[in-house]
Amino acid sequence: MQRKYFNHVLFSILLIITGSMFYGCVKHPLDQNPTGQYTTSNFWRNQDDVIAGITGIYNVLFVEDWIGHNLYAYDDQSDDISVDGDHPDFKVIERLNADPTQQLVYITWPFAYEQIGRANNALIYIPKVPVMDDSIRNRSMGEAYFLRAYAYYILSNIYGEVPVVREENVLNGNYNVPKSSVDSVRALVESDLLQAANLLPETYGAADRGRVSKGAAWGMLCKLYMTEDRFADAITYGSKVVSDANYALAPNYAMNFTSGQQENNTEILFAVWNGNGELNLPNSPIAIYFSPRPWQGWGFHHPTENFAEEFEPNDTVRKKATLISVGDSLPYQTNMATISSSDAQSPFFTGMDGQSTGRLLPSMSTTGYYIHKYTAYLANGDGGLDFNLKQPLLRSSDIYLLVAEAKIRLNGSGAGDAELNAVRQRAGLLPVSNAGMAQLIHERRVELGGENVRWQDLLRWDKDQIIDIDTIVGKPKAASPLPPYNGTVIIPPRTFTRPKNYYMPIPQEIIDESKGVIVQNPNY
């Protein structure tokens, strides 16, 4: 592990500047104009430093090579989404042909460990701050534990065995350590989340919206335990979310992905708290990567026809909130395009060749669809993306469905009906009875589509022989059946190799920097 990702001299002037711009932590960010170089020996002096230091951990979430975009490329391996754009490594990964030299395989690693490194410093120095409010101290420690756990959880899901670097490594300057077993990494994640759940408040006031709460820690514990097949534990911690009114499902599904309706949304347990510049809120590039290119985006991720067909005929609320389809327009989207002769083959644009439109054209998408959840436009009519749209990373509905799954797998069909039907009825659908894993799998797919969940679900179900992932990746990814697509195959059938494709390779650059202390994953 190269020291640059765990630099003891962490808080440079750049971090202090960005660290004072926490989305939703304070109404009046620090007015100081810091000068000089801040180090761990002169930074952690008081409560303001602690708040800014915790902000610095959150700020890593905004990086496009981390949570802000690149992580979603791994979900393109699933059957829901096909990648587009000019990143060849994304396309190779989608085809299940990752290798250790690819940029995406590498770039995920340092930003995850940057988040871990900042959390480690916070955990070391916050207890040493001589005078501060005990509730702020406890909350800040809980946030650091949560954010470190979140980074390790993602790392372990992607790479499997990874090095564990903790406070003692920072204090001893011992960063170049070998990989730890998956069980050891998950044990640290569990310990950190339990600490976070103990220290974090259940709710926050308006000035601190965007910070993680007990509900976020409980939810992540539920997800962790489902990954480990610890169903009773998953039910215990997931039920804390389900039974707590502070984490209730939003009244309307679309509120989770509607600008201006997320700030007081009890369902959003953890999100990248974007902003358009108000209160110095930064923004994540997620909207740019998911929005159509002619509509101010870069259009990297295109839903497949198979995914679009998964929605039940009456599941219109979720489908509309999840997908932008050819022929659709969005509020405040004012970017006009000329309808080509090829576009005019679509039944939505018949006879309109040469006319202008603000609706989605076939030429704008390789499949006929875009993910809607991360796309919104400014109400001022300039056609610009609305970066106030938050990026949900963990929602209560995810936890409801995990509790339902754990109950089904422990006690059989029907045991999870209450939680599953709460999610269905919120979507305006009739309840089901005696639901088994097939219904649960369907419900997770349509409820959480495009939220970077599907591929990890498929992997854990395949490991447990609930599904055969070969039957999923062995089908081609296809575009809309409507002209001019006519069901075009976007990605041909792929081959899943066990156990190799359960994890990405360790980046070769990291192995080289470690001088062999870190070894490659099997089969790469």
Instruction: Work out the average pLDDT over 50-61.
Output: 96
Q: Give one word for 11, left, alpha or beta, with left for phi > 0 and alpha for psi -120 to 50.
A: beta
Residue 466 clears pLDDT 70, i.e. is over it:
yes
Mean pLDDT of the chain: 91
**Are the CB atoms for 409 and 437 separated by under 8 Å?**
yes
- What DSSP line would sit under 364-392, residue for residue? G-SSSEEE-TT--B-TTSS--B-TTS-EE
Half-sphere exposure of 326 (CA within 13 A, CB side): 28
Question: Among all chains, which residue has been given the structure tokens 């699933």?
Answer: 78
**Are the CB atoms for 132 and 94 separated by under 8 Å?**
no
Provide the 3-class DSSP secondary structure of residue 393.
Answer: strand
**Which has the closest alpha carbon to 490: 400, 366, 376?**
366
Going from N- to C-terminal start, the domains of the chain cover 3-200+506-513, 287-392
The reported pLDDT for the residue numbered 473 is: 98
Provide the 3-class DSSP secondary structure of residue 180.
Answer: strand
Residue 305 clears pLDDT 80, i.e. is over it:
yes
**Are the CB atoms for 338 and 362 separated by under 8 Å?**
no
pLDDT class of 372 with cuts at 50, 70, 90: very high
The reported pLDDT for the residue numbered 208 is: 94
Read off the amino acid at residue 288.
I
Question: Among all chains, which residue has been given the structure tokens 């180090």?
Answer: 39
Please state the φ and ψ torsions of residue 83, each to the nearest 5 degrees: -85, 145
User: Per the structure block, which two tokens stand in for 37?
Assistant: 């170089």
Other beta carbons within 10 Å of 188: 17
CA 377 to chain centre: 21
Question: Among all chains, which residue has been given the structure tokens 């960010």?
Answer: 29
The reported pLDDT for the residue numbered 279 is: 52
Burial of 296 (C-beta count, 10 Å sphere; 0-12/13-18/19+): middle
Strand 369-371 and strand 323-325: pairing? antiparallel
Residue 34 clears pLDDT 90, i.e. is over it:
no
Provide the 3-class DSSP secondary structure of residue 162.
Answer: strand
Q: Distance between CA atoms of 147 and 112, rounded to whole angstroms?
A: 10
Q: Lowest-pLDDT range, 27-41, 417-431, 458-472? A: 27-41
Q: With helix as H, strand as E and coil as C, how does 395-450 read? A: EHHHHHHHHHHHHHHHHCCCCCHHHHHHHHHHCCCCCCCCCCHHHHHHHHHHHCCC
Q: Lowest-pLDDT range, 74-88, 141-155, 403-417, 418-432? A: 74-88
The reported pLDDT for the residue numbered 304 is: 98
The reported pLDDT for the residue numbered 456 is: 98
Please state the φ and ψ torsions of residue 237, each to the nearest 5 degrees: -85, -35
Better pLDDT: 208 or 30: 208
Percentage, residues of the chain above pLDDT 70: 91
Q: Distance between CA atoms of 375 and 126, rounded to whole angstroms?
A: 38
The reported pLDDT for the residue numbered 85 is: 83
**Are the CB atoms for 494 and 96 separated by under 8 Å?**
yes
What pTM does this model have? Answer: 0.92
CA distances from 23 to 107, 244, 288, 430, 485 (A): 25, 25, 19, 38, 42
**Are the CB atoms for 339 and 326 separated by under 8 Å?**
no
Q: Distance between CA atoms of 322 and 306, rounded to whole angstroms?
A: 14
Instruction: Work out the average pLDDT over 431-437.
Output: 98
Read off the amino acid at residue 286.
I
CATH number of 3-200+506-513: 1.25.40.390
Q: What tens digit of pLDDT does each residue of 495-518 get?
A: 999 999 999 999 999 999 999 999
Sequence-ordered strand ranges (E) for 249-336: 268-272, 301-303, 323-325
Residue 88 clears pLDDT 50, i.e. is over it:
yes
**Are the CB atoms for 353 and 341 separated by under 8 Å?**
yes
Q: Distance between CA atoms of 201 and 196, rounded to whole angstroms?
A: 9
The reported pLDDT for the residue numbered 87 is: 87
Q: Distance between CA atoms of 137 and 187, rounded to whole angstroms?
A: 24
Q: Distance between CA atoms of 1 and 3, rounded to whole angstroms?
A: 6
- Return all residues near 200 (Cβ < 8 A) that are at least 6 apart: 139, 142, 143, 146, 212, 213, 214, 216, 217
